């Protein structure tokens, strides 16, 4: 029994480290492709179209395997809204990487719990009990995380590791000055991770009415590719940007469409079942270290004091917020054991589900159903009541 548990621990650990490596690798490959001239607007179109093509059998398999309600016009409209939010989020995210680096994107992905907590307070979905240690940790962690983001954007500092010749040959395109492009990239990435909690909220509501995970992911990918195509046509027009060269550009589109839509779903689903959402969340800062290493080896990036300091500060704030959320979860479990009705606050649920977003933002819906199931509460009549993303 102990040997079996040890094997599962090793499997979960290996899977999570692998997923962080895949996430950063896809961002690094995308950066290399854009520096060779690929349009990031066109990239989003092709990547999501590829993912939709891979998942195209999903609607037929879903109808054969389970009894589902009709796919109504209302649900399709909500998936369209989800695609608009998700498409805008991804365009902003890839624009941010284009103007800055995969390292900054990896660091900013750790802002999601803090930004989710802020939005939960703004929309009245989470109450702030300032005397509770968990709330104090989340508030302080949020402040620390945002401070770290400002450090990464505004302070460059001296070079700690000098860039060498990149392994991937890059044809640099003209960009604004280094500081201006870095700040612009940071702004784009910040807005992206503000949109992520909104995307999760809409997705959870769709899943409650139409619990067919892969079908929703298929339509989401399809609609995002349409939204991105409209944006790309307005920006690029009918130019040669739509013609991808058979080099890094095709590799980036193919790998993102394939690995970002399939592999993370399987590994994250399995790891969540074995270890839980807090365990999954703990690995997120690892992507920063991986991004630093890949940027230096493959893109010829230099490691600056400001980037390292800001990344460390963001990671500290991230773990403070996660610690506070884990304490909230423990208290909910303890209260549930005493028979007191409990429900998880928005910030905890959204953070747990946020970890299911794969590197290109193709949301994994398999676990949203499971997280909603874990948020079922019992009312005064002894009936189960759904409480997805509502922590009032």
- The CA distances from residue 285 to 16, 197, 268, 334, 357, in Å, are 12, 19, 16, 29, 15
Helices (H) and strands (E) in the chain, counts: 16, 4
pLDDT tens, position by position, 262-275: 666 567 656 766 77
* Lowest mean pLDDT across 85-94, 237-246, 345-354: 345-354
Average pLDDT, the chain: 76
**Residue 391 gets which letter from DSSP?**
B
Which helix H or strand E contains 385, and what residues bound it? strand 384-385
pLDDT tens, position by position, 171-220: 444 444 457 888 899 999 999 988 988 887 788 788 888 887 778 888 98
Q: What pLDDT does 344 receive?
A: 44
């Amino acid at each position: 029994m102990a040997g079996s548990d040890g094997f599962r621990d090793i499997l979960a650990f290996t899977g999570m480290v692998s997923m962080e490596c895949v996430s950063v690798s896809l961002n690094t490959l995308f950066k290399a492709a854009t520096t060779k001239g690929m349009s990031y607007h066109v990239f989003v179109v092709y990547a999501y179209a590829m993912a939709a093509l891979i998942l195209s059998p999903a609607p037929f398999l879903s109808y054969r395997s389970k009894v589902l309600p009709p796919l109504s016009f209302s649900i399709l409209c909500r998936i369209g809204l989800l695609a608009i939010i998700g498409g805008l989020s991804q365009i902003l995210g890839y624009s941010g990487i284009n103007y800055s680096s995969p390292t900054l994107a990896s660091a900013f992905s750790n802002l999601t719990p803090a930004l989710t907590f802020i939005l939960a307070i703004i929309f009245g979905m989470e109450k702030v009990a300032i005397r509770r240690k968990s709330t104090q940790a989340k508030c302080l962690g949020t402040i620390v995380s945002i401070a770290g983001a400002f450090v990464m954007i505004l302070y460059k500092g001296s070079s700690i590791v000098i860039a060498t010749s990149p392994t991937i040959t890059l044809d640099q395109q003209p960009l604004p000055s280094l500081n201006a492009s870095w700040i612009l990239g940071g702004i784009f990435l910040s807005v992206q991770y503000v949109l992520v909690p909104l995307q999760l909220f809409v997705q959870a509501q769709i899943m409650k009415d139409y619990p067919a995970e892969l079908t929703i992911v298929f339509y989401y990918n399809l609609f995002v590719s349409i939204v991105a195509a409209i944006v790309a046509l307005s920006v690029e027009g009918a130019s040669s940007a739509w013609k991808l060269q058979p080099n890094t550009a095709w590799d980036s589109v193919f790998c993102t469409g394939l690995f970002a839509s399939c592999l993370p779903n399987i590994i994250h689903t399995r790891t969540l079942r074995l270890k839980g959402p807090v365990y999954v969340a703990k690995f997120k800062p690892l992507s920063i270290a991986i991004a630093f290493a890949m940027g230096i080896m493959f893109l010829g990036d230099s490691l600056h004091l400001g980037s390292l300091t800001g990344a460390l500060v963001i990671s500290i704030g991230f773990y403070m917020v996660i610690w506070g959320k884990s304490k909230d979860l423990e208290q909910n479990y303890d209260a549930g054991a005493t028979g007191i009705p409990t429900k998880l606050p928005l910030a905890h649920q959204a953070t747990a589900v946020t970890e299911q977003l794969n590197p290109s933002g193709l949301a994994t819906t398999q676990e949203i159903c499971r997280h909603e199931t874990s948020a079922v509460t019992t009312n005064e009549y002894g009936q189960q009541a759904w409480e997805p993303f509502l922590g009032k």
